[in-house]
């Protein structure tokens, strides 16, 4: 008769065989949410539908997505920690669907001043909340299933957000070619709901103490907020994201300043999106091999060196694509490094809410990064100084992590 010890061992072996499904499911979910990076495809048909000339009114919905996403990420993490993975994912899918359903209903309103309110609620605020509720789940869940290979598992999940635009863009373009933008909202909302909700039903937490082979205490959010490592993570995430987003948020005008060929600009945007996605798996794997402190330090230093190089090479098509690709890959890697480091430093029991708190720094960087790059361009007449400023931010992030590694020696 099989004893209890052998039974537990057999159970753990079976879980080991099937656990790779969770990073794969997380990748699929995040690839749907990464479709927000293709949101600008709706601008032109909306302009035609309402006779608008302004783009800024339409683009503001995208800003509302990022703002509501950043603001809601902490309560979303608390919600996940309390309920498990399925309910948040289902709720988030429903919020996104309801938002796009409101977008479909806009066809009944001819006055843009009224339709605009529905547009901002349905295509801005509700999807932002939905994405936050969903995004609080896949990366922490992958970290829980892979305490031995946290970086790799989280990197696979994060890869989904990186390729989201490439996955969703052809689908949106197809619907826009056969119907109007309002029905496209309905179809895309339905697709998002079906894929995210059905995938979410397959998610589940690992058993208590599953493969727990470390001595990391399980931090509460309040305890983590008082820990020096949290402060280092928050600031270094803000500085490193700021550096990446300053370049990414101004990519097209930077290329137009250095290179006039539209073909090169189009190639740059396509190629760097794959660098961005691939960097998430690459840096997650590097973290598993070198440790969190070392991997972050390497990422920031390589980014700083690359920013210095691109300040001289952004007028060459070949160098700007290669160097730009490296910047995008390192930026993408941040979305694997920081959730993994958070799990390693503070445990996984309350990872949803703690990483949510760390992630607010990305919201700050997203708000200020692209704006600062454009402001430097306006003041100096060139983007060269913005590269130097971004380099300084990366070096500052590297210094913080270096000091943290020396203090904690792990």
| Dist. CA 106–CA 114, nearest whole Å | 9
pLDDT value of position 1: 46
* Whether the Cβ atoms of residue 52 and residue 46 lie closer than 8 Å to each other: yes
- Concatenating the DSSP letter of every residue in 352-366 gives HHHHHHHHHHHHHHH
* Whether the Cβ atoms of residue 317 and residue 334 lie closer than 8 Å to each other: no
* Whether the Cβ atoms of residue 238 and residue 365 lie closer than 8 Å to each other: yes
- Mention every residue, 6+ apart, whose C-beta is less than 8 A from residue 85: 137, 141, 200, 203, 204, 205
| Cα dihedral value 190, 196, 201, 202, nearest 10 | 140
Strands (E), 139-227: none
pTM: 0.79
For residue 247, what are its two tokens? 């370049």
Q: What are the per-10-residue average pLDDT scores of the chain (410 residues)?
A: 52 67 93 82 88 80 82 88 93 96 93 92 93 92 87 89 82 91 95 95 82 68 93 95 83 77 75 87 92 95 95 84 91 92 89 89 79 81 88 95 82
For residue 310, what are its two tokens? 């691109």
Residue 337: CA count within 13 A, CB half-sphere: 30
- Mention every residue, 6+ apart, whose C-beta is less than 8 A from residue 226: none
Residue in the block written with tokens 């001595």:
215
* Whether the Cβ atoms of residue 187 and residue 56 lie closer than 8 Å to each other: no
Q: Which of these, 368, 374, 272, lies nearest to 327 by C-alpha position?
A: 272
| Dist. CA 48–CA 203, nearest whole Å | 42
| Dist. CA 370–CA 393, nearest whole Å | 14
| Cα dihedral value 94, 193, 174, 49, nearest 10 | -10
């Amino acid at each position: 008769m099989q004893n209890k010890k052998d039974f537990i061992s057999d159970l753990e072996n079976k879980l080991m065989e099937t656990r790779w499904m969770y990073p794969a499911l997380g990748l699929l979910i995040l690839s749907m949410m990464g479709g927000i990076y293709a949101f600008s495809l709706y601008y032109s048909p909306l302009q035609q539908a309402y006779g608008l000339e302004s783009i800024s009114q339409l683009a503001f919905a995208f800003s509302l997505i990022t703002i509501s996403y950043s603001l809601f990420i902490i309560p979303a993490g608390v919600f996940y920690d309390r309920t498990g993975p399925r309910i948040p994912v289902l709720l988030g899918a429903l919020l996104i669907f309801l938002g796009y359903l409101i977008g479909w209903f806009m066809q009944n309103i001819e006055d843009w001043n009224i339709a605009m309110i529905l547009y901002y609620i349905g295509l801005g605020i509700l999807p932002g909340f939905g994405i936050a509720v969903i995004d609080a789940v896949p990366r922490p869940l992958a970290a829980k299933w892979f305490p031995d290979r946290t970086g790799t598992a989280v990197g696979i999940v994060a890869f989904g957000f990186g390729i989201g635009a490439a996955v969703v863009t052809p689908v949106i373009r197809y619907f826009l070619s056969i119907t109007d933008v309002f029905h496209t909202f309905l179809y895309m909302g339905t697709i998002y709901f079906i894929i995210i909700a059905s995938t979410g039903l397959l998610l589940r937490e690992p058993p208590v103490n599953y493969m727990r082979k470390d001595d990391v205490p399980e931090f509460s959010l309040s305890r983590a907020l008082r820990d020096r490592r949290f402060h280092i993570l928050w600031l270094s995430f803000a500085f490193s994201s700021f550096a990446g987003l300053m370049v990414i948020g101004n990519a097209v005008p930077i290329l137009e300043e250095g290179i006039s060929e539209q073909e090169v600009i189009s190639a740059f945007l396509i190629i760097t999106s794959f660098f961005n996605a691939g960097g998430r798996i690459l840096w997650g794997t590097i973290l598993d091999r070198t440790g969190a402190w070392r991997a972050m330090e390497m990422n920031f230093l390589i980014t700083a060196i690359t920013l210095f190089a691109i300040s001289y090479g952004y007028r060459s098509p070949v160098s700007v694509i290669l160097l730009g690709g490296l910047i995008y890959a390192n930026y993408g890697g941040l979305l694997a490094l920081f959730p993994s480091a958070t799990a390693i430093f503070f445990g996984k029991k309350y990872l949803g809410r703690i990483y949510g708190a760390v992630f607010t720094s990305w919201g700050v960087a997203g708000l200020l990064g692209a704006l600062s790059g454009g402001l430097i361009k306006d003041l100096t007449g060139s983007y060269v100084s913005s590269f130097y400023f971004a380099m300084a931010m990366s070096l500052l992030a590297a210094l913080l992590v270096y000091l943290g590694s020396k203090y904690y020696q792990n």
